Structure 1
Amino acid sequence: MSERFFLYNDLIDTKTRFVSFMGDNSRYDLAIIMTDRFYGKKLVLDMQSSRFAIIGHDDLEEEGYIEHAFHISEEEASELKSFLYEVI
């Protein structure tokens, strides 16, 4: 077996917020990971769908980004964005 070639292999401290809430259309179980790794953006994991995205304010403003990243409807994305605007 050849030697493994790492592009990077860092151990960093993170702060993680676990939050679960009910919207009008869906339940959301999220892990929001804060680190200096993503240029001020946060890693948002949807634990129900096993989907994640690196999200900043600019991503929340981009039309269709949340819907695409989490494979959710426009109504569900509106609920999720409403929360994410508070924490991102």
Structure 2
Amino acid sequence: MAEGFLLYDETEQTSTRYLGYAGEHGRYDVAIINTGHFFGKRLVISIQNGRSAILNDEDAANIPYLMQAFDIRSEDEAAEFSELLLANL
């Protein structure tokens, strides 16, 4: 390796939930990964665009953050996505 520092290298069993939902403002296909690595938060990956974020309920309720993290352009769509996440994290 170059002159870097390996910060961590861990392997663990995780639980992954795949969730598809068609709402009023959009369709959402996500993978929600439960892991002990992120201090109780979950790794959420949008299957449509590949964007991801590490979220807890507080993060999932933050509409501007969801818009930025998942490249959502409409507040209505982000609010709908937030409701989906809050019901399923």
With normalisation by structure 1, the TM-score equals 0.89
Name 1:59's counterpart in structure 2: 59
CA–CA distance in structure 1, aligned partners of residues 28 and 62 of structure 2: 21
User: What SS does structure 2 have at the residue aligned with 1:64?
Assistant: helix
Q: RMSD across aligned C-alpha pairs, in angstroms?
A: 1.7
Displacement of 1:62 in angstroms is 3.1
Question: Could you tell me the percent identity over the aligned residues?
Answer: 41
Name 2:18's counterpart in structure 1: 18
With normalisation by structure 2, the TM-score equals 0.88
Q: Which one-letter code corresponds to 2:6 in the other structure?
A: F
Displacement of 1:27 in angstroms is 0.8
Displacement of 1:61 in angstroms is 3.4
| 2:55 paired with 1:48 | no
| 2:84 paired with 1:83 | yes
Please give the per-residue CA displacement for 1:37-84, whole angstroms capped at 9, x wherever unaligned. Answer: 111110000010110000001212335111111010211111111111
